[in-house]
């Protein structure tokens, strides 16, 4: 049963809102914006110079332009000797890149900056490469909250219930818990997408939500009105199945990220606490079990960090610029 779990009791203590965020925070990563302040820009025009210094004719420099996506981006020229206007946020590059697992990533905007997100959900084949590498996982690939997680293989009992379409290895990996997903991403030189458990539907505070909603502009990755059949959603007759990642070409965000609605719900680094396998962590985007209209960008399912018994749960990775 899907529920929107918000443990209000954590914030019921006599703490300020800021103190509450500080206590709860993100699971194992420190969130920071990718934007960099622009460089100071001089008031260059003759009109600006004369207005700034009057009869003396001395020009004054404008202040730094804020929000440039690239460090050192120049701000706007100072006008009439007054403070320079803020530099407009720069567009993220439209190029793609690959990281340690050789899978494609897209550049995505977040609060005036950029981060990278896997174009597709992690497939069964990709996860098998990780398992075959037999990576050390305790403690080198896992956070303190995951030290009791001694096996990164998918839950075999759960996998036996999982149904696929097309080539099975191209379907998203399922039946993994939060710790398994985080370990894979770290092994690949990436991480789970960062965000806040409580502000999960605010684009500046959640990488996953920003990517899905096109920085808060849309309800679904492809727009604001549900389109029947656009994504792998709405299964009502068993067996309900996953599909090869990226198979639905209409289920894509403006930045080219696929399956942010449906197919499988995705683990993200949006957890209540950073204590144990019993912590509640969010899963985003819904799955094949949700209707077209329900698998929206602000859908915030929750499950225990150590839960690996659901064939509709998978993940993808994010990375810093």
Q: Are strands 280-284 and 265-271 parallel, antiparallel or unpaired?
A: antiparallel
- Say yes or no to pLDDT of 199 above 70: yes
- Say yes or no to pLDDT of 20 above 80: no
Determine contact, residues 281/270, Cβ cutoff 8 Å: yes
Burial of 12 (0-12, 13-18, 19+ CB in 10 A): exposed
- Choice between 89 and 63, residue whose per-residue pLDDT is larger: 89
Q: What confidence score (pLDDT) does residue 166 get? A: 97
Q: For residue 91, how many C-alpha atoms fall within 13 Å in the half-sphere facing its CB?
A: 5
- Choice between 313 and 80, residue whose per-residue pLDDT is larger: 313
Determine contact, residues 232/295, Cβ cutoff 8 Å: no
pTM (two decimals): 0.72
Which pLDDT band, with edges at 50, 70 and 90, does 231 fall under? very high
Which pLDDT band, with edges at 50, 70 and 90, does 90 fall under? low
CA angle 67, 71, 73 (to 5 degrees): 65
- Say yes or no to pLDDT of 50 above 50: no
Determine contact, residues 197/110, Cβ cutoff 8 Å: no
Does 94-319 carry CATH code 3.30.70.1380? no
For 148-184, the pLDDT digits (tens) are 999 999 999 999 999 999 999 999 999 999 999 999 9
Task: Give residue limits of the domains in the chain.
Answer: 36-44+67-90, 94-319
Dist CA 146 CA 140 (whole Å): 11
């Amino acid at each position: 049963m899907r529920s929107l779990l918000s443990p209000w009791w954590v914030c019921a203590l006599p703490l300020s809102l800021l103190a509450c965020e500080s206590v709860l925070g993100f699971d194992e990563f420190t969130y920071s914006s990718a934007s960099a302040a622009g460089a100071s820009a001089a008031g260059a025009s003759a009109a600006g110079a004369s207005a700034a210094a009057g009869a003396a004719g001395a020009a004054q420099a404008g202040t730094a332009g804020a929000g440039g996506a690239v460090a050192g981006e120049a701000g706007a020229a100072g006008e009439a000797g007054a403070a320079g206007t803020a530099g407009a946020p720069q567009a993220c590059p439209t190029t793609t890149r690959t990281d340690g697992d050789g899978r494609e990533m897209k550049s995505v905007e977040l609060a005036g900056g950029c981060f990278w997100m896997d174009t597709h959900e992690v497939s069964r084949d990709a996860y098998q490469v990780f398992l075959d590498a037999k990576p050390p996982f305790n403690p080198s690939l896992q956070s303190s909250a995951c030290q009791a997680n001694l096996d990164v293989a998918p839950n075999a009992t759960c996998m036996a219930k999982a149904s696929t379409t097309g080539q099975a290895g191209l379907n998203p990996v399922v039946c993994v818990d939060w710790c398994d997903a985080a370990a894979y991403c770290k092994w690949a030189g990436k991480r789970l997408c960062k965000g806040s458990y409580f502000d999960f539907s605010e684009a500046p505070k959640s990488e996953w939500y920003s990517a899905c909603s096109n920085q808060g502009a849309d309800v679904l990755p492809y727009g604001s009105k549900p389109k029947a059949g656009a994504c792998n959603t709405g299964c009502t007759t068993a067996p309900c199945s996953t599909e090869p990642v990226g198979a639905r070409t209409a289920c894509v965000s403006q930045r080219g990220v696929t399956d942010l609605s449906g197919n499988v719900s995705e683990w993200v680094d949006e957890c209540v606490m950073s204590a144990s396998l019993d912590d509640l962590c969010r899963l985003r985007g819904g799955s094949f079990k949700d209707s077209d209209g329900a698998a929206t960008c602000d859908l915030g399912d929750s499950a225990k960090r150590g839960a690996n018994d659901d064939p509709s749960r998978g993940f993808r990775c994010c990375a810093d610029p």
